């Protein structure tokens, strides 16, 4: 039973729960209780009038009824205002209880002779409704229930005890000897088996009353505990659902930000649908397609301008920076460029080292796209001039702009980066490469679109780019109109350097100055969102502060202005609370049918009816308590005939068997130690909890068994109407006449059989999850059976009891309150309607609990899917070991992410032949079909990353047809330095195998596309700096001399070969690979280098070779 009582929730949750509980559950029940009492009083008046009684002749009865009608009408008026009830819940509930108690005591002393069984059913009604229908806590309800029980017992005990002469005998006596006459005017001799107890002692009947009241208290407390447990569970599930919705909203916002940080909005939804399909099909897999190609998300746009910008002198500066300084410097610089791009309606495409390029006219066409790019280029140059003037650091900006058309979109499966391709993009790149530091270099196409907005001058082409010389088109340098103004004003050259002193490094000077720009941190929108993951489901603080006892949860009656005070989260909280209001069951709902409460979705209704019910065993246990109470009562008020004892013994056996089956799952060890023939019982216990058909059959049989045993004593009373107390020769002075019928049970067992029937009604309410229609059927069946028994077939027993009570009086007809059959029938109807109301309420809350659990599961699954989607999106931007540092509470600080590594192997693999393959014509849709093939190449390369043996390979980016990857990035900082060279560089072998696998993939593509593409690969290893830069479009990248040399190894390499530096060749030789010397070659920016080719025909053939060549 202790499991029925859940631990107390946090105070804030408890406050809302109590308010929700009293309003949503108990408020309508309180109104219904008052209505039932009022209709019961009216029914009593109607029965009294219909039975021919003169109401005026019984002023006590009439006064009690009128006072009751007036008092309960007043209470109904007071309780009809929900706000008033919320403010005065306990006082009003106490008034209702006191009024019911006063009415019960008024009934005791109105209408005739006071007997021990008087108004027991009414007090049982008071006790049960205190628990089930009044908005009281468990302690208050228990106190009221016990006080009601004790008041009845004490009042009758005191009233009947001191008056043995004036009150009729209450105890049963043994039946007379067969030799005696049925009617005897003197004391009847006891049977030989033992003396009968004194007839004047009412203790046995009061003990039976105590058992009835105790059973009523236990049944009421059990019902309340079940309901509170169900309601609290529903409440918490509703809060958890709200919590999940917030998490879901947060995840959706994260996804939106992440998608928009990778892709333009017009591509975001299309790509998201692809990821969702991948998640549903299984992580890492692609959904089945109608063709053999990967999905291509590339579109053609005309009328755009492309800007390329490169920071001149940054490579030398970066070599002097610490990892933190380098990442901070890049983030501030490119963050500033992103701000300028936003001001001029440009979209940053990608960052390549210290190169920055963007496009204007995407995704929406802009008529002034050329002017936007030129303005942006001028502002970038101006920002760098200010930086140079303030720090004295010798850096500059070189910008190239060209206008035309582009193919834009995303290729590959991993590390998506929005990119642009076309001959016009290539031209813009060459415009930057051949430009002049500090100037914006534009083509004739861009100049034509400027329409004279800027003055230009011809660019000298003597030392220009070969690509531009081949085109033979003139190019121009834009004259910045504000440059002269800046020269006239002058600048405090090297202001910061002069203040800080000549000894400070240039990189540190730049870092100090750039920090003043205040560029946003990458993924700042993710790190500042409070993580919704919590186990305690906190409530909105503003909702707590806005809450007051006077405020109703009914939103239609919310005080004006309160909604303005609540934020969106609080408003959603109150919307959820309002959905739990039990008054909703009578209104149209998209979930329930308001009449039958069936779910509108047939599958959900079927799932509800087939759901498991582990608590069924507790229902059966409490029902056994009702049965045991009936047994004790029958033993107290009857002379315990052997047949009745045998009947109860058989029923006890059946109940014990039922309980043993229900609880055998908890007694598995004991059962398995017993006879083998009982080893199936634990399995049967599980079946009872999980099979609804078996459950319904056992529950129905249990209730019918209690109903049957409640009226079993009537079987031992004569069916013929041969009441001896109506004989005309019975003396009015025979006060000691026996209460027994000849050869039968005592008459006082008749009203107690009615009380046992009432307990039978209560047993039906103990099966909380039993369907409403089944309860209705059982209650109707029992109501019809009880009324037919006590009002028809055995009605004469009640008349006989009345005749015995009023023996010798002039008016032998008492008031309606003292006539057992009438009060019994009225009690049956009152309990019938009360339990029907509770059954409907229970059914609603059981279904509501099931609905919220299902919603919670669905939202949790959706949230989990969204979290997986967010993780995949983030891992499409960042490596898996970096991504967690940018999510919610995992964000450790506000510093930029940066990490230095001692040994990282960097790979550049390109398909140089693709540049010749690429063409723009109407046949290939202006280059779109060429990009489709490139997408297949990159996607096949990406698929290799999902193989376990390549789990250490991290894709960095793609640059047109060049694929960049690295290994050794998932090692802990400083870890490599602590290991020997062989262990620290063991991942180089993984990269070599990956490069070989890339070549194999390209061979397969060549076979299917009838091409002869060959791979050119460059490898290098050494120290690098990794970091995340860019707030608008965060990008993970690696920098350092190792990266630059690896790029040169690819660009100076040979088709079909893997070119490496001398240091990398030595490391690979130690791992079992064979390298041979290429010789000394000239490498841009590095001078003369001795390089090697990797022999890819042999892999780890055995012991290392002695030489490289």
Instruction: Give the three-class secondary structure for 324.
Output: helix
Tell me the mean pLDDT in the region 84-107.
Answer: 86
Distance (Å, whole) CA 125 – CA 148: 10
Q: How many separate helices (H) and strands (E) can be counted in the chain?
A: 39, 16
In terms of Cα–Cα distance, which of 1092, 1067, 1064 is closest to 1080?
1092
Residue 170 pLDDT? 36
DSSP 554-605: -GGGPPTTHHHHS-HHHHHHHHHHHHT-GGGGGS--SSB-TTT--BSSHHHH
Whether the CB-CB separation of 944 and 1001 falls below 8 Å is answered with yes
Stretch among 124-133, 543-552, 665-674, 1077-1086 having the lowest mean pLDDT: 543-552
Other CB atoms within 10 Å distance of the CB of residue 629: 25
CA angle 758, 215, 625 (to 5 degrees): 95
Owner of token pair 């599930």? 237
Phi, psi of 441 (to 5 degrees): -100, 120
* Letter string b/e over residues 169-188, b meaning 16 or more CB atoms within 10 A of that residue's CB: bbbbbbbbeeeeeebeeeeb
Among 373-382, 633-642, 668-677, 767-776, the range with the most confident prediction by mean pLDDT is 373-382
In terms of Cα–Cα distance, which of 508, 146, 181 is closest to 322?
508
Active-site residue identified among 53, 821, 955, 1048: 1048
Which residues are registered as beta bridge partners of 1027? 898, 1037
Whether the CB-CB separation of 122 and 831 falls below 8 Å is answered with no
DSSP 354-412: TEEEEEES-SS--TTHHHHHHHHHHHHHHHHHHHHHHH----EEEEEEEEEEEEEEE-S
Give the CA radius of gyration of the chain. 46
For residue 1106, pLDDT beyond 70? no
Which has more pLDDT, 585 or 1091?
A: 1091
- Residue 600 is a catalytic residue: no
Tell me the mean pLDDT in the region 231-253.
Answer: 75
Distance (Å, whole) CA 441 – CA 431: 6
- pLDDT tier at 722, thresholds 50, 70, 90: low
Token pair for 462: 């003597």
For residue 928, pLDDT beyond 80? yes
For residue 488, pLDDT beyond 80? no
Residue 978, C-beta contacts closer than 8 angstroms, at least 6 positions apart: none
Cα 961 vs. chain centroid, distance in angstroms? Answer: 45
- Residue 1048 is a catalytic residue: yes
Whether the CB-CB separation of 557 and 578 falls below 8 Å is answered with no
Distances (CA, A) of 937 to 273, 477, 712, 1007: 22, 39, 87, 12
Phi-psi region of 150 (alpha: psi -120 to 50; beta: other; left: phi over 0): alpha
Distance (Å, whole) CA 293 – CA 934: 11
Stretch among 264-278, 360-374, 1080-1094 having the lowest mean pLDDT: 264-278
Residue 979 pLDDT? 46
Whether the CB-CB separation of 532 and 243 falls below 8 Å is answered with yes
Phi-psi region of 464 (alpha: psi -120 to 50; beta: other; left: phi over 0): beta
Distance (Å, whole) CA 67 – CA 725: 36
Among 86-100, 441-455, 722-736, the range with the most confident prediction by mean pLDDT is 441-455
Contacts 24+ apart (CB under 8 A), 840-844: 840/585, 840/597, 840/772, 841/25, 841/28, 841/29, 841/582, 842/227, 842/765, 842/768, 842/769, 842/772, 843/597, 843/771, 843/772, 844/582, 844/585, 844/592, 844/597
Active-site residue identified among 606, 1082, 1084, 1100: 1084
Other CB atoms within 10 Å distance of the CB of residue 98: 13
Residue 33 pLDDT? 92
For residue 59, pLDDT beyond 60? yes
* Letter string b/e over residues 873-888, b meaning 16 or more CB atoms within 10 A of that residue's CB: bbbbbbbeebbeebbb
Tell me the mean pLDDT in the region 313-321.
Answer: 77
Distance (Å, whole) CA 224 – CA 221: 5
Stretch among 153-162, 322-331, 347-356, 430-439 having the lowest mean pLDDT: 322-331
pTM (2 d.p.): 0.63
- pLDDT tier at 1093, thresholds 50, 70, 90: very high
Token pair for 1007: 């076979």
Stretch among 338-347, 942-951, 965-974 having the lowest mean pLDDT: 965-974
Tell me the mean pLDDT in the region 785-806.
Answer: 81
In terms of Cα–Cα distance, which of 386, 404, 428 is closest to 513?
386
Residue 1046, C-beta contacts closer than 8 angstroms, at least 6 positions apart: 906, 907, 908, 1018, 1019, 1020
Whether the CB-CB separation of 955 and 964 falls below 8 Å is answered with yes
DSSP 1015-1043: -EEEEEEEEEEEEEE-SSS-EEEEESHHH
Per-residue 3-state assignment (H helix, E strand, C coil) for 800-820: HHHHHHCCCCCCCCCCHHHCH
Instruction: Give the three-class secondary structure for 194.
Output: coil
Phi, psi of 296 (to 5 degrees): -115, 120
Cα 298 vs. chain centroid, distance in angstroms? Answer: 37
Distance (Å, whole) CA 682 – CA 673: 13
Helix (H) or strand (E) holding 440: strand 440-443
Distance (Å, whole) CA 241 – CA 230: 16
Cα 848 vs. chain centroid, distance in angstroms? Answer: 16
Average pLDDT, the chain: 77
Q: At what angle do helices 820-875 and 27-50 cross, to 10 degrees?
A: 160
Whether the CB-CB separation of 755 and 748 falls below 8 Å is answered with no
Phi, psi of 162 (to 5 degrees): -75, -5
Residue 976 pLDDT? 43
Phi, psi of 857 (to 5 degrees): -60, -45
Q: What is the DSSP letter of 304?
A: E
Residue 586 pLDDT? 53
Whether the CB-CB separation of 230 and 838 falls below 8 Å is answered with no
Whether the CB-CB separation of 1027 and 323 falls below 8 Å is answered with yes
């Amino acid at each position: 039973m202790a499991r029925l009582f859940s631990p107390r929730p946090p105070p804030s949750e408890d406050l809302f729960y109590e308010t929700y509980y009293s309003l949503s559950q108990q408020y309508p029940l309180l109104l219904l209780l008052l209505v039932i009492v009022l209709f019961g009083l009216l029914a009593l008046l109607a029965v009294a009038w219909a039975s021919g009684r003169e109401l005026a002749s019984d002023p006590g009865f009439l006064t009690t009824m009128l006072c009751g009608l007036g008092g309960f009408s007043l209470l109904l008026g007071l309780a009809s205002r929900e706000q008033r009830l919320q403010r005065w819940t306990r006082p009003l509930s106490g008034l209702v209880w006191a009024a019911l108690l006063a009415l019960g005591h008024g009934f005791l002393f109105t209408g005739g002779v006071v007997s021990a069984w008087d108004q027991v059913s009414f007090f049982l009604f008071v006790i049960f409704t205190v628990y089930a229908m009044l908005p009281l806590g468990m302690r208050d309800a228990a106190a009221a229930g016990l006080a009601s029980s004790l008041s009845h017992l004490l009042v009758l005990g005191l009233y009947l005890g001191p008056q043995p002469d004036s009150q009729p005998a209450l105890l049963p006596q043994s039946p007379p000897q067969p030799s005696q006459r049925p009617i005897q005017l003197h004391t009847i001799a006891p049977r030989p088996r033992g003396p009968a107890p004194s007839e004047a002692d009412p203790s046995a009947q009061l003990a039976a009353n105590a058992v009835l009241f105790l059973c009523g208290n236990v049944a009421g407390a059990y019902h309340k505990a079940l309901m509170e447990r169900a309601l609290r569970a529903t409440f918490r599930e509703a809060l958890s659902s709200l919590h999940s919705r917030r998490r879901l909203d947060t995840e959706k916002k994260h996804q939106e930000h992440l998608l928009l940080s990778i892709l333009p909005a017009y591509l975001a939804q299309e790509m998201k649908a692809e990821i969702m399909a991948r998640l549903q099909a299984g992580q890492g897999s692609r959904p089945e397609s109608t063709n053999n190609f990967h999905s291509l998300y590339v579109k053609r746009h005309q009328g755009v301008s492309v800007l390329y910008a490169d920071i001149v002198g940054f490579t030398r500066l970066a070599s002097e920076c610490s990892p933190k300084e380098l990442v901070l410097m890049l983030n501030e610089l490119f963050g500033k460029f992103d701000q300028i791009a936003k001001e001029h309606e440009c979209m940053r495409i990608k960052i390549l080292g210290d190169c920055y390029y963007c496009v204007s006219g995407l995704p929406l066409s802009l008529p002034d796209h050329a002017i936007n790019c030129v303005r942006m280029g001028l502002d970038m140059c101006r920002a760098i001039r200010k930086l140079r003037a303030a720090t004295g650091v010798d850096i500059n900006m070189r910008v190239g702009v060209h206008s035309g058309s582009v193919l834009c979109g995303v290729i590959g499966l991993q590390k998506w980066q929005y990119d642009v391709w076309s001959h016009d993009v290539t031209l813009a790149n060459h415009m930057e490469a051949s430009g002049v530091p500090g100037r914006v270099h534009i083509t004739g196409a861009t100049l034509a679109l400027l329409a004279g907005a800027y003055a230009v001058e011809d660019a000298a082409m003597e030392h220009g780019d070969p690509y531009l010389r081949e085109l033979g088109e003139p190019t121009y340098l834009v004259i910045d109109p504000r440059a002269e103004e800046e020269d006239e004003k002058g600048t405090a050259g090297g202001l910061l350097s002069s203040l800080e002193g000549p000894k400070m490094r240039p990189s540190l000077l730049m870092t100090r100055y750039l920090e003043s720009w205040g560029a946003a941190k990458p993924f700042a929108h993710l790190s500042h969102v409070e993580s919704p993951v919590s186990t305690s489901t906190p409530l909105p603080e503003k909702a707590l502060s806005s809450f007051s006892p006077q405020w109703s949860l009914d939103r239609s009656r919310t005080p004006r202005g309160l909604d303005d005070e609540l934020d969106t989260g609080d408003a959603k909280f109150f919307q959820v609370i309002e959905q739990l209001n039990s008054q909703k069951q009578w209104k149209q709902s998209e979930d329930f049918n308001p009449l039958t409460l069936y779910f509108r979705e047939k599958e959900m209704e079927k799932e509800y009816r087939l759901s498991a019910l582990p608590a069924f065993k507790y229902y059966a246990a409490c029902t056994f308590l009702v049965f045991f109470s009936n047994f004790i009562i029958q033993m107290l008020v009857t002379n315990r005939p052997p047949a009745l004892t045998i009947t109860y013994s058989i029923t006890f056996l059946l109940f014990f068997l039922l309980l043993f089956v229900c609880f055998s799952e908890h007694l598995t060890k004991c059962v398995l130690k017993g006879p083998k023939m009982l080893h199936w019982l634990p399995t049967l216990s599980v079946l009872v909890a999980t099979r609804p058909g078996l459950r319904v059959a056992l529950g129905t049989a249990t209730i019918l068994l209690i109903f049957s045993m409640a009226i079993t004593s009537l079987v031992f009373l004569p069916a013929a109407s041969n009441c001896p107390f109506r004989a005309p020769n019975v003396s009015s002075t025979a006060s000691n006449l026996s209460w027994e019928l000849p050869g039968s049970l005592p008459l006082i067992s008749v009203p107690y059989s009615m009380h046992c029937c009432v307990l039978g009604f209560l047993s039906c309410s103990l099966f909380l999850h039993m369907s409403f229609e089944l309860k209705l059927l059982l209650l109707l069946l029992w109501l019809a059976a009880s009324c037919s028994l006590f009002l028809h077939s055995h009605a004469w027993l009640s008349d006989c009891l009345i005749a015995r009570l009023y023996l010798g009086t002039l008016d032998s007809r008492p008031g309606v309150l003292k006539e057992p059959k009438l009060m019994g029938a009225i009690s049956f109807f009152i309990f019938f309607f009360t339990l029907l109301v509770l059954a409907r309420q229970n059914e609603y809350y059981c279904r509501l609990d099931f609905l919220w659990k299902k919603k919670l599961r669905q939202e949790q699954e959706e949230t989990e899917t969204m979290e997986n989607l967010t993780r995949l999106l983030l891992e499409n931007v960042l490596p898996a070991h970096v991504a967690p540092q940018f999510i919610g509470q995992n964000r450790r600080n506000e510093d930029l992410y940066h990490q230095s590594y001692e040994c990282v192997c960097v790979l550049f693999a390109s398909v140089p032949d693709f540049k010749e393959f690429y063409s723009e014509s109407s046949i290939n849709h202006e280059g779109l079909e060429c990009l489709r093939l490139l997408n297949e190449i990159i996607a096949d390369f990406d698929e290799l990353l999902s193989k376990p043996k390549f789990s250490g390979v991290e894709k960095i980016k793609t640059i047109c047809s060049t694929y960049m990857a690295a290994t050794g990035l998932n090692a802990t900082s400083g870890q490599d330095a602590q290991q020997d060279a062989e262990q620290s560089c063991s991942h180089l072998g993984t990269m070599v195998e990956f490069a070989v696998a890339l070549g194999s993939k390209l061979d397969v593509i060549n076979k299917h596309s009838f091409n002869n593409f060959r791979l050119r690969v460059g490898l290098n290893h050494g120290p690098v700096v990794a970091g995340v830069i860019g707030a608008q479009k965060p990008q993970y990248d690696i920098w350092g001399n190792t990266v630059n040399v690896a790029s040169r190894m690819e660009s100076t390499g040979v088709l079909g070969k893997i070119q490496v530096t001398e240091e990398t060749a030595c490391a690979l030789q130690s791992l079992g690979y064979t390298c041979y010397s290429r010789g000394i070659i000239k490498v841009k920016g590095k001078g003369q280098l001795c390089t090697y080719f990797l022999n890819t025909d042999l892999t780890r053939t055995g012991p290392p070779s002695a030489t490289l060549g």
